[in-house]
Amino acid sequence: MLAEQDPVVIQLFNEFDRVVMPNKKVDQAEAESLIAYIKRESDKGPARAVPRLPASVAPADRELGRVQSMALAVFALVSIIIITVFGFVGKSTDKPRVVDMKSAYRLRRILFISGSAALLSLLAITLPVTPYVVNAEPKAEIIYTTARQFSFTYSREPVTSLEELRFVEGLRVLEVSADALVEFRVTSLDTNHGFAVYDPNGAIVAQTQAMPGYFNRLRIHFDKPGFYAVLCLEYCGVAHHVMRSGIIVR
Amino acid sequence: MLNTNEREWDEQYMELARRNTLTWIAVTFILFPILVLAGVFMRFVQGNTLGSAREWFYPMMTLHGMGMVGVAYVGGMACVEQVIAKYTRPSDRVSFFAIIGTVIGVVLLLVSVLIGKFAAGWYFLYPLPLKGNWPTWSAVVFLLSVTVLGATWLIWCLDLLRAIAREYTISKALGWHYLAGKTEPEVPPAIIITTVSLIGAVACLLSGVIVLALFYVELLTGTANDALLMKNLTFFFGHVLVNISLYLGVAVIYDVIPQYCGRPWKANKIVAISWNSVLAIVLFAYFHHLYMDFVQPTTFHYIGQIASYMSSLPAAVVTIFGALTLVFHSKMKWNMASMFLFISMVGWAIGGVAAVIDSTIAVNLRFHNTLWVPAHFHTYMLEGLVLMILGFYYHYLQEQSQRAENHTLQRMITGLIVVGGYGFVLMFYLAGASGVPRRFATYPAEVGHGVPYSLVAIGFVALFSVGLALYISEAGKCWLKAARS
Ligand code: HEM
Ligand SMILES: [Cu+2]
């Protein structure tokens, strides 16, 4: 249709970031039943106010998350040490002399032992902190999240095919109450996608992959009210960067 | 003593090996700058400057990623092949075959991306290649390209292993006799590291072959594959390939740094233990790519983090520490080659630290698929492996051509490449930590702060590119002189 320079199509094309829609290869009969279905559904009229996905906006005050800041600080510190050591050793070649290898080996032993100790304690501290759901307690509100090129749908029932997606009550944006513990069961109907949740300050709180044929269980405790943006974080094709959704926490 | 016949054969062989190396250098000097341009193009698009050309972002991302990984790998292999030609005799025919196979693979890749607009990313994660808006033929040509490259490189690796086994046997080439407490026969560290890398390469290329075979089965019969299995195979392939490419560069460092600092670097029990554990660990660390696939058995996630943490020890305490003691207060001859090789270890170390941070599951929950990922691998590829390769190339070309060196110019080139390169990756780090996703052609408002980072990065890439152009002109002059002789 683009090739035919259809004016409506051209306008849509420009509005939607000039992304060419994948050809879903819908035949005439399928298209007609789809149009009939859309008409039937729209004739029903809005049963209740369905929340609409707000336009993409920058968070009012952007903040680094706590984990992010710690990671960045550790990284900066270690990098500075590395650069200093290399600078020092590079400079030392201005004054060539014989180096006592005995003391070098002693230093290496100290480094090995202290390095291992540091790594092991870091492992001991960080390994228990994982996002994986190991047991069902405490009870969480379960939301099935279905990703496909290029949108997310939230529903109460699991969806495993496009066919099923048509018959569930699916939402494009989710509303939850503040302090809710939500378990997302995330899957995909086509390629891999990512389901990443940003807090109202723009820091990633958590993410999981949306994979065809599997449900990944991700629990998030929504403590702050506000708008949590959801972006797709696994490259899924030409419109990957416009694949978004959101969670409104009241 | 060699008799005349053998000596003649030897000279002929060395001449053929020299020609092959010069060809590889030329291939790199042509492909690398083009791929850098594809990289800058992506930064321009992410900086909202290119309008409608942005539809080329994902094809260019695919070309840049696949091309760079390929160039880095063949560059590393070419360096190592020249280095180990001192100790053993890889077949010059296979090496020539590798050049031809690589060129054919590159042509297929270009056809698929530039004509077919294929854009599934460099590791073509299943099932995206079959579900994009590009024509099926372009996916098939892409898969064929990877097949040709994979098969060629597999044969190349096997031939180097054959040559090494013939001279040393594989167990000695892995330094197992050092582990048993013996000190004889002496095996150069470059041989141990090359052997480790080649075994890793064979393993990952086999995994790549399985992925490709499963793709072809699906294309031909229509039976769908398991997405989790394909992901495991794909990341095993990608992770190990990138890591062993870097180790090829490290093998070169072990061989060349001693020539500049005038102190020997010998293999011993510690070096052998270190590199054998690297081989074991690197095969398990790939699990860190699947942390966000929660259905993967949780034990694998833990193994992934432990292996990733542990892999840093042998690198830091044995190799980097060893190199530093070697250079410390030595009569180091500084030129572009030794500066590049020395500084390349900084990129390896810093990129490694960033990788270990990201391999922490609790951190990965926030950093996975953000720009932190390209940040860390560009650090150890661009400021690590690329410096190792360019450093060795210059070392070799200088040795061949004996051109007079301009030390001020060389220091300036090094400065430009270091400042430009680190400034460029710093923008990735800052953006990644603050949640800007990787592989976004343009940034929606939620992560709109990615735009200014892209623009600043372009400035740094400009510095880098001036340095690269000067490097190629310097090294290119040596190349011309060496090629004529
Ligand atoms: C100055 C030189 C370079 C520039 C300007 C550059 C630029 C870029 C950019 C902008 C991206 C996309 C980042 C994103 O949004 O996800 C990228 C991705 C990538 N780059 Fe580079 N890069 C350079 C050098 C290298 C080198 C030396 C290597 C490897 C040896 C490399 C390997 C890759 C890979 C594997 C990807 C990922 C592609 C994908 O996601 O499919 N790059 N690069
Ligand atoms: Cu996506």
- Give the closest of B328, B365, B441 to A206, CB-based: B365
CATH code (residue B182): 1.20.210.10
78-137 of B, contacting A, C-beta below 8 A: 119, 121, 125, 127-128, 131-133
Q: What is the mean pLDDT of chain B?
A: 94
Count of structural domains, chain A: 1
Residue B389 in domain: yes
Q: What is the pLDDT of residues B39-86, one digit of tens each?
A: 999 999 999 998 888 899 999 999 999 999 999 999 999 999 999 988
C-beta separation of B98 from B156 below 8 A: yes
Chain B, window 307-336: residues with a beta carbon less than 8 angstroms from a chain A beta carbon: 309-310, 312-313, 316-317, 321, 324-325, 327-332, 334
Q: For residues B113 and A21, which has the higher predicted lDDT (pLDDT)?
A: B113
- Position A152 scores a pLDDT of 96
Q: Is the CB of B382 under 6 A from ligand 1?
A: yes
| Cα–Cα distance measured from residue B182 to residue B187, given in angstroms and rounded to the nearest whole number | 11
- Sorting pLDDT into bands at 50, 70 and 90, what band is B220? very high
Q: Residue B194 belongs to what domain range?
A: 12-484
Query: What pLDDT is recorded for position B195?
Result: 96
Cβ distance of B227 and A74 shorter than 8 Å: no
Look at residue A48 in the predicted model and tell me its pLDDT: 52
Q: Give the mutation target among B29, B58, B64, B426 for probing the ligand 1 site: most ligand atoms within 8 A of CB.
A: B64
Pocket test residue of B32, B43, B62, B68 for ligand 1, highest count of atoms within 8 A of CB: B68
- Which band of pLDDT confidence, cut at 50, 70 and 90, is reported for residue B1? very low
Q: At B4, is the pLDDT very low, low, confident or very high (cuts 50, 70, 90)? A: low
Mean per-residue pLDDT for A84-89? 97
Contact at CB, A130 and B298, closer than 8 angstroms: yes
Model pLDDT, residue A33: 55
pLDDT at residue A61, as a whole number: 87
CA gap A195, A193 in Å, rounded: 7
- Calculate mean pLDDT across residues B356-379: 97
Q: If DSSP states are collapsed to H, E and C, what string results for chain B?
A: CCCHHHHHHHHHHHHHHHHHHHHHHHHHHHHHHHHHHHHHHHHHHHCCCCHHHHHHHHHHHHHHHHHHHHHHHHHHHHHHHHHHCCCCCCCHHHHHHHHHHHHHHHHHHHHHHHHCCCCCCCCCCCCHHHCCCCCHHHHHHHHHHHHHHHHHHHHHHHHHHHHHHHHHCHHHHCCHHHHCCCCCCCCCHHHHHHHHHHHHHHHHHHHHHHHHHHHHHHHHHCCCCCHHHHHHHHHHHHHHHHHHHHHHHHHHHHHHHHHHHCCCCCCCHHHHHHHHHHHHHHHHHHHHHHCCCCCCCHHHHHHHHHHHHHCHHHHHHHHHHHHHHHHCCCCCCCCHHHHHHHHHHHHHHHHHHHHHHHCCHHHHHHHCCECHHHHHHHHHHHHHHHHHHHHHHHHHHHHHHCCCCCHHHHHHHHHHHHHHHHHHHHHHHHHHHCCCECCCCCCCHHHCCHHHHHHHHHHHHHHHHHHHHHHHHHHHHHHHHHHHC
Kindly report the backbone phi and psi dihedral angles of residue B169, in degrees, each rounded to the nearest multiple of 5, phi listed first.
70, 145
In a domain, A119, yes or no: no
pTM above 0.90, yes or no: yes
Higher pLDDT, B317 or B25: B25
> Residue B24 domain-assigned?
yes
Under the banding of pLDDT at 50, 70 and 90, the label for residue A46 is very low
Q: If you take atom 31 of ligand 1, which residue's CA is the nearest one? A: B68
pLDDT recorded at residue B52: 84
Residue with tokens 């072959």: B209
Does B436 sit in the ligand 1 pocket, CB within 6 Å?
A: no
Cα of A179 to ligand 1 centre, how many Å? 40
**% of chain B residues with pLDDT over 70:** 99
User: In this prediction, what percent of chain B has a pLDDT beyond 90?
Assistant: 89
Query: Is there an atom of ligand 1 within 6 Å of B43 CB?
Result: yes
Average pLDDT of chain A to the nearest whole number: 85
Q: Which pLDDT score, from 0 to 100, does residue A60 have?
A: 83
In a domain, B5, yes or no: no
Q: Burial of B91 by CB count in 10 Å (0-12 exposed, 13-18 middle, 19+ buried)?
A: middle
Residue nearest atom 36 of ligand 1, based on CA coordinates: B65
**Ligand 1 mean position, distance from CA B439 (Å):** 10
Average of pLDDT values for B236-258? 95
B301 in A contact zone (CB under 8 Å): yes
Q: Is residue B7 part of a domain?
A: no
**Residue range(s) defining the domain that contains residue A170:** 137-249
Beta carbon of B464 within 6 Å of any ligand 1 atom = yes
With 70 as the cut, is the pLDDT of residue A77 above it? yes
A238 in a domain, yes or no? yes
Can you tell me the mean pLDDT for A186-209? 96
Helix (H) and strand (E) counts in chain A = 5, 9
Q: Would you call B292 and A209 a contact, using CB atoms and an 8 Å cutoff?
A: yes
Q: Is residue B363 part of a domain?
A: yes
The predicted-structure confidence for B131-184, as pLDDT tens digits, reads as follows 999 999 999 999 999 999 999 999 999 999 999 999 999 999 999 999 998 888
Q: Is residue B84 part of a domain?
A: yes
- Residue A169 pLDDT class (50, 70, 90 cuts): confident
Residue B2 lies in a domain: no
Which of B324, B354, B441 lies at the smallest CB-CB distance from A85? B324
SS3 content of chain A, % helix, strand, coil (to 5): 35, 25, 40
CA B356 – ligand 2 centroid, Å? 25
State pLDDT tens for residues B253-302. 999 999 999 999 999 899 999 999 999 898 899 999 999 999 999 999 99
For chain B, the domain total comes to 1
Q: Is residue A129 part of a domain?
A: no
Set of chain B residues whose Cβ sits within 8 Å of the Cβ of A116: 313
CA-based nearest distance A238→chain B, Å: 7
Whether A38 is covered by a domain: the verdict is no
| Sign of the Cα pseudo-torsion (A52, B445, B65, B84, in order) | negative
Q: What is the CATH number of the domain that holds A198?
A: 2.60.40.420
Q: Is the CB of B378 under 6 A from ligand 1?
A: yes
Give A249's strand partners. Answer: A176, A226
Kindly state if the Cβ of B386 falls inside 6 Å of ligand 1. yes
Mean pLDDT confidence for B420-448: 97
Residues of B in contact with A133 (CB under 8 A): 294
- Side by side, the strands of the sheet bearing A151-155 are A151-155, A141-148, A181-188, A216-221
Tell me whether residue A163 is in a domain.
yes
Please report whether residue A211 resides in a domain: yes
pLDDT at B462 over 80: yes
Does residue B444 belong to any structural domain of this protein? yes
Which ligand is closest to the CA of B47, given by its number? Answer: 1
Tell me how close the Cα of A43 comes to any Cα of chain B, in angstroms: 33
What pLDDT shows up at residue A29?
53
The tens digit of pLDDT for each residue in B292-350 reads 999 999 999 999 999 999 998 888 888 999 999 999 999 999 999 999 999 999 999 99
